[in-house]
Structure 1
C-alpha cells in the first residue's frame, strides 16, 4: 500500500481541524487552500505522512480544502495515510448537536467524506464519540459493509473507554486499531488514573480505569489529540512547567514542542500524538518527535509529570 501502511506504525499525525477557514458554513477561499497547502507541506517536511480529519471540522471545509490540495498534487495521495472521523452531528436550526452512529448515517457520512477528500478510499475511519442509542451490532454491520465495498481499510474509535471498545469489538471481526483521546502534559487524567487508585483523589479522576491497559492488550494504538496543550506550555508563559520544558529542550538540543510530544511517546502504551497547529514553523518544531526516539530518562519523565501537576505523587 506504499505509504498506506497500518496506521499503528505512524509515530506522529497531523490534525487538519484548523484547515478550511472559519467555523461556519461560508465557502472556503483560495487563501484557505493556500494556507492548507503550506501546512501540509510543512507536515511532510517534518516527516509526517498520516493526516487526521473529521467530517465536522469547519463544517466539512477541512476535508474539502484537503481534497483540493490532493487534486492539485499528483501522486500525493499515494504517499500519505488519510484518516477521518464521523458520528457527531453539529447543531442545525432548532435541533441541538447529537451523536449518530446508526448504520445508514455512517455509510452516508463516509460517502460524503470521500467526495470532499476527493479520494476513493479512507485508510482509517474512527467513530468520533459513542452513541448510546445505537446497537453495537448495527454499527458493526455498517463497518463490514464499508470494508467489503473497499471504502475503508481500517477502523477505530475516538473518546471511548476500554469497556466501550470491547463491547463493540465483540460484534465485529474487523479489528478496531485506534483509540484517539485527549492526552498531554496538561491533560494527565489518563496517566493519573493508574496511580490514584486506592487514594481519596481517585473519585475526582474521571478517566475510565483500565482503558490504557485494555488498548495495549488488544492491539489498539492510542492517538493523542491536543498533545501540545494549545500552547499553554510553550507560549512563553512563565510557569515552573514551561521553564522545565524549555530547559530540557535546550539540554536535548531540540524544541519545547518535541519535549511535550516525547513525554507522550515515552509512555509504554504507545501513544501517537496528533498535532493540530496550522503554523508551518510550529509544525516544523515537532519534526524531532517524528524522526527521533524519545530522549527522556525515567527521572526526567517523572520530573515533567510532577512539575506539571504541581503536587507530589501519592
Structure 2
C-alpha cells in the first residue's frame, strides 16, 4: 500500500484508512478476518470513535486484532470524541475529553492513541479548555497527534490559536456525489447552487496549513442517504465508473476512490466497508492514477457543474 505523511507530521500512513464504525455488524470470527485482510493489504490505519457502537466497536477491534505490544507497534490507531447522547449534545469540555480518551484506551487495550480527533464542532467550545486537555494527553503520552472532524477554517483557526500541538487532520464528508468542497471552488462568482461556499474554503485552508483531509463515507450521497454505487439515481456516474474501471481492469469502487486520491490535496479516504472483497477493491485505488480527463469525466457524471 502506498503511504503518505499525515498532515505536517513525520507519521507515514497508508493512503486509505479503515473506518470501524460498523464492526458491530460482524461476529468475532468475521471481524478477525476483516482486520487481517486490511493488514495483508497494507492498510494498518484504523479509525474509531467513542460513539461507534457505544464503544463496542473498539472492544471488538481489540479482540479481532489480538491486541498485544507487538501488534500495537505495527498499527496506527485514530479515534474521535465529542458527540454525546441522552440527551444529544456535543462536548469539548476538558473533563469529557480526558475521560473519553481513558475509555477509548481501555476498550482498545492500548496505552496510547496515534491520533485523536474532535468529532463535531461544539458550539460551547472554550479553546483554552481543549488546549489544556490536549496538553495533558500529549505530555502523558496518551495521544501523539491531534485533529478535528467536520470543522471549517474559522473553527480550526480559533482552536489552533490556543493549541501547542498542530492540527494534523480534518475528517470531512467527501466523494464524487458529495463534492461541494470542490464545486464551490470551480464555480467562483457564479450565480448557481454549485458556487455556494458552504465550508469557508476548507479544502484550500487545509492544503495551506498541512492538514490532511480524511474523506468519510466516500460512496455516500447526501447525508447517509445511501451509496451511489449501483444506485439508479446515479446511472451516468455508475456507467462512467464502470467504463473507466474496465479500462484499468478494476471495479467501479476502485475508480471512485482513485478519483479522490487523484486530487493534489493528498486526501486519505476513510472507508467504512466491512466486506473483505470490497476492501481489496478499494485498496487497488492506491496504484491507480486517473488522467485529468478521466477525473473531470467522473466529476461531471456525478451531476457536478462546470461553468
Cα shift at 1:197: 2.2
Q: For 2:245, what is the secondary structure of its paired residue?
A: helix
- Aligned partners of 2:22 and 2:250: how far apart in 1? 25
- 2:266 pairs with 1:273: no
How do 1:29-68 and structure 2 match up within 5 A? 32-68=27-63
Tell me, yes or no, if the aligned pair for 1:46 and 1:286 is still in contact at 8 Å.
no
Tell me, yes or no, if the aligned pair for 2:186 and 2:195 is still in contact at 8 Å.
no
- 2:281 pairs with 1:313: no
Q: For 2:131, what is the secondary structure of its paired residue?
A: helix
Tell me, yes or no, if the aligned pair for 2:80 and 2:117 is still in contact at 8 Å.
yes
- 2:137 pairs with 1:141: no
Q: Deviations over 1:20-48 (max 9, x none)?
A: 24xxxxxxxxx622222122112112221
1:151 to 100, 123, 142: 142
In structure 1, the gaps of 5 or more residues are: 22-30
The residue number in structure 1 matching 2:284 is: 288
Cα shift at 1:272: 0.7
Q: For 1:288, what is the secondary structure of its paired residue?
A: helix
- Aligned partners of 1:262 and 1:229: how far apart in 2? 15
In structure 2, the gaps of 5 or more residues are: 1-5
RMSD value over aligned CA atoms? 2.1
1:131 to 108, 122, 129: 122
The residue number in structure 1 matching 2:3 is: none
Cα shift at 1:111: 0.2
The residue number in structure 2 matching 1:101 is: 92
Tell me, yes or no, if the aligned pair for 1:70 and 1:118 is still in contact at 8 Å.
no
1:113 to 93, 101, 104: 104
Q: For 1:194, what is the secondary structure of its paired residue?
A: helix
TM-score (structure 2 length as normaliser): 0.90
Q: For 1:132, what is the secondary structure of its paired residue?
A: coil
1:257 to 241, 253, 273: 253
Cα shift at 1:207: 2.4
Q: For 1:235, what is the secondary structure of its paired residue?
A: coil
TM-score (structure 1 length as normaliser): 0.88
